[in-house]
């Protein structure tokens, strides 16, 4: 898993949106698939234009998730979101300005979580799981 700092640097070398999409495809292809027994309705993220499953875990007070999709660019986005959110504690997660990071990556146009194409559903799910854990503390 690349750190988000590395990703930002890698994306900064990519001049066109096409190149950035291609890089997302590469990231998506490198994403480990979710075991099929975890691809259940309970882990399904609704509101996406592709099928997305997101499985959260907590370890030593840090949040982690695995996720998968049947769309390859969405898998690339998942990879980016993992770099952003994994191994953070809940207060860090709450302060992350995900919109700004996507703008820095040059992905504002079609893939920004604020676009109503389901990307936001994944972020909301991450925030939901992180918030749930916080309440249990």
For 51, the token pair is 């099928």
Query: Is 64 considered catalytic here?
Result: no
Of residues 4, 45, 48, 82, which has the active-site annotation? Answer: 48
In the complex with other proteins, which residue's Cβ is closer, 25 or 38? 25
Shortest spacing between CB 116 and other proteins, in angstroms: 12
**What residue ranges bind other proteins (CB under 8 A)?**
17-18, 21-22, 25, 49-51, 70-74, 109-111, 117-118
In the complex with other proteins, which residue's Cβ is closer, 25 or 87? 25
- Asked if 41 and 54 count as a contact pair (C-beta separation under 8 A), the reply is no
Element of type H or E holding 67: strand 62-69
Shortest spacing between CB 17 and other proteins, in angstroms: 6
In the complex with other proteins, which residue's Cβ is closer, 56 or 76? 76
Shortest spacing between CB 87 and other proteins, in angstroms: 28
Element of type H or E holding 39: none
| Phi and psi at residue 125, to the nearest 5° | -65, -40
> Annotated active-site positions, please?
48
């Amino acid at each position: 898993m690349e750190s988000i700092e590395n990703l930002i640097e890698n994306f900064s070398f990519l001049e066109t949106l096409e190149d950035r999409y291609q890089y997302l495809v590469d990231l998506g292809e490198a994403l480990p698939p979710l075991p099929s027994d975890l691809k259940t309705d309970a882990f399904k993220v609704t509101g996406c234009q592709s099928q997305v499953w997101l499985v959260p875990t907590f370890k030593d007070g840090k949040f982690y998730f695995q996720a998968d999709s049947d769309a390859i660019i969405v898998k690339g986005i998942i990879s980016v979101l993992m770099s952003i959110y994994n191994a953070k504690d809940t207060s860090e997660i709450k302060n992350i300005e995900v919109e700004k990071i996507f703008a820095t990556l040059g992905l504002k146009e079609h893939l920004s979580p604020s676009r109503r194409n389901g990307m936001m559903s994944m972020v909301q799910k991450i925030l939901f799981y992180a918030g749930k854990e916080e309440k249990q503390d």
